[in-house]
Structure 1
Amino acid sequence: MIYDVIVMGGSYAGMAATLQLVRARRSVLVIDAGERRNRFAAHAHGFLSQDGVPPGEIAQLARRQLEAYPTLTWLEGQATAITGEVDAFCVTTDSGARQGRRILLATGVTDQLPDVPGLAQRWGTSVFHCPYCHGYELNQGRIGIIGSGPLSLHQAALLTDWGEVTLFTNGACELTPDVRADLTQRGVTLEETLIAQLDGHADVVLVDGRRLYFAGLFTATRTSPASPVAATLGCALEDSPMGVQVRIDAEHKTSVPGVFACGDVARAPHSVSLAVGHGAMAGAQVHRSLVWPESLRPA
């Protein structure tokens, strides 16, 4: 069977795109490895009508709704390669090869965490990246920012609306006189002693032995595509302030004709609600390319 569209990734962006396509009665194969980026978080926030709902429940409900459409096929597995061209793509998976007319990359990203002992074990539970997703629940308590680069300075200023902020530069943030003055004026405490480890719920232990207690911690990760298939297919990549992503145009087209991308792998900033909106538009654009294939030709 040749599918109209093969969607690489069955998280929020991929499912939102798939919904538009199956409602247009197009045959869609979703290939999903089951590793949602927010799988470590207990609750999702900032998503209208789903605020406070466990992210796994949102994903499960979305999949059940998609499976009500007869043109959907869901494959749990990992894609290892994509070859071919418009109308004749071949996706190799760990269970065999599948063919499709269009490819939609919704593979998501991987977070590269700062090398701080104890951080990875608390990622998504007491260490976060998005204040709009997790800041409110800290109840205006003490918030620590674990410095990782220039974006940490932005986080420190932004998070003052959610609590009392301490920025741990941890050897990764340059505090120019202007930056230092600005953050101090905003009420941010600047701590330049290196971090030894994280402990307890959200305790920061410094190399001088001090232990500081927080309601929650934030850090700015650097992201990269969770799957190498975009790069191996030849899709152009680009740098964003948050990391490497697949380059797309206003119609979600990548640099490879017939291949589209959406969600965290193709845009920043990142959240569930933004991924859903981005995916929905991508699904419509992929459908348009099936109706008007001449739109895939370069100008």
Structure 2
Amino acid sequence: MDTDVLIIGGSFAGLSAAMQLVRGRRKVVVLDAKRPRNRFAKASHGVFCLDGKTPEEIRSTALSQLQAYSSFQVVEDTADSVDVHEEGFAVAAQGGTTLRAKRLILATGITDQLPDIPGVKERWGRSVIHCPYCHGYELSDRPLGVLATSELSFHQAAMIPDWGATTLFTQGHLNPQGEVLDHLLARGVILEEAPITQLEGDGDSLSEVVLADGRKLPLEGLYVSPKAELTSPFIDQLGLELEESFTGRIVKVDGFKETSVKGVFAAGDLSNPMQSGTFAIASGTMAGVGAHRSLIFNQ
């Protein structure tokens, strides 16, 4: 199967890139394994005109609109490997299909490595969250906590009091100092050094946390900044250059989202230091425009 642009990943970033390209009258194939990072969330909030829609609703709407364009195709399969050849790229999928394209957009997202605390995984994206703009409003005016996973958690803890009374759980080893501590205290943040050992509550709701010393504290929302891992095999296969950001390593891109390998673009959380549905959409839009420009000007 030959196309102008192959997009690996069919969530917010990948489909946004596809929209720019089909409107540019280019042939586009989206190869999607249907395992987006946002699949754990009940709703996507803060997305312009789509506030409160589920990720699947947004994806379905985007697909229905894209399928009105004759140059669009989606293939539901998992990409296995990518090869570079003179005319572009060849991607082998698990189902046996090989897709060839002049340009490649990676929108595979990242994988969250959550703290190994009982009850965290079951509530991820519901009452255990990472972004106050995405999910914080729904947990307003409740007892809230921030689980310290790095010094970035201090910044997060300073923000959360705008949504509710906040406790920073230092886990006994990540303790703010100096001006950072003064700012947290001025914001009304309570510090708790005893580590959280378990989360409790009905279903995916959170009602309290159990501490290492046996105490139980009421808590209805816990913010966690998980360690994000770049698990896409294509980063190594293509030899893409990475860079450090305040949220971890990301794929290095230029202003049009092109990577260190000519003709390969990266969109969404894979290349965004700040990550949300809105940022993914914007990133995908730019990647689509960038790929289209590169086809026109052979850049």
Q: TM-score band, normalised by the shorter chain?
A: over 0.9
Partner of 2:137: 136
Query: What SS is found at the alignment partner of 1:82?
Result: strand
Q: Separation in 1 of the partners of 2:99 and 2:44?
A: 33
Partner of 2:169: 168
Does the 8 Å contact 1:85/1:257 carry over to 2? no
Identify unmatched segments of 5+ residues in structure 1: none
Q: Separation in 2 of the partners of 1:69 and 1:275?
A: 22
- Give the counterpart of 1:238 among 235, 243, 254: 243
Change (3 A) 1:172 1:17: farther
Partner of 2:225: 220
Q: Deviations over 1:222-257 (max 9, x none)?
A: 212242212221111122111221110112110111
Does the 8 Å contact 1:37/1:108 carry over to 2? yes
Does the 8 Å contact 1:21/1:28 carry over to 2? yes
Query: What SS is found at the alignment partner of 2:111?
Result: strand
Comparing 175-184 with 185-194, greater Cα deviation is found at 175-184
CA RMSD of superposed structures (Å): 1.3
Query: What SS is found at the alignment partner of 2:290?
Result: helix
Report the alpha carbon displacement of residue 171 of structure 1 after superposing the two structures with TM. Answer: 3.3
Partner of 1:93: 93
Q: Percent identity?
A: 46
Report the alpha carbon displacement of residue 54 of structure 1 after superposing the two structures with TM. Answer: 1.4
Does the 8 Å contact 2:256/2:289 carry over to 1? no
Runs (4+) of structure 1 exceeding 6 A deviation are none
Report the alpha carbon displacement of residue 172 of structure 1 after superposing the two structures with TM. Answer: 4.6
Q: Deviations over 1:268-296 (max 9, x none)?
A: 21111111111111101100111110x2x
Q: Separation in 2 of the partners of 1:231 and 1:190?
A: 41
Query: What SS is found at the alignment partner of 1:269?
Result: coil
Q: How does 1:5-44 map to 2 (within 5 A)?
A: 5-44=5-44
Q: How does 1:1-299 map to 2 (within 5 A)?
A: 1-85=1-85, 87-96=87-96, 97-200=98-201, 201-202=205-206, 203-293=208-298, 295=299
Q: Separation in 1 of the partners of 2:86 and 2:29?
A: 16
Does the 8 Å contact 2:88/2:263 carry over to 1? no
Normalised TM-score (structure 2): 0.95
Report the alpha carbon displacement of residue 168 of structure 1 after superposing the two structures with TM. Answer: 0.4
Report the alpha carbon displacement of residue 186 of structure 1 after superposing the two structures with TM. Answer: 1.1
Query: How many residue pairs get matched?
Result: 294
Does the 8 Å contact 1:29/1:75 carry over to 2? yes
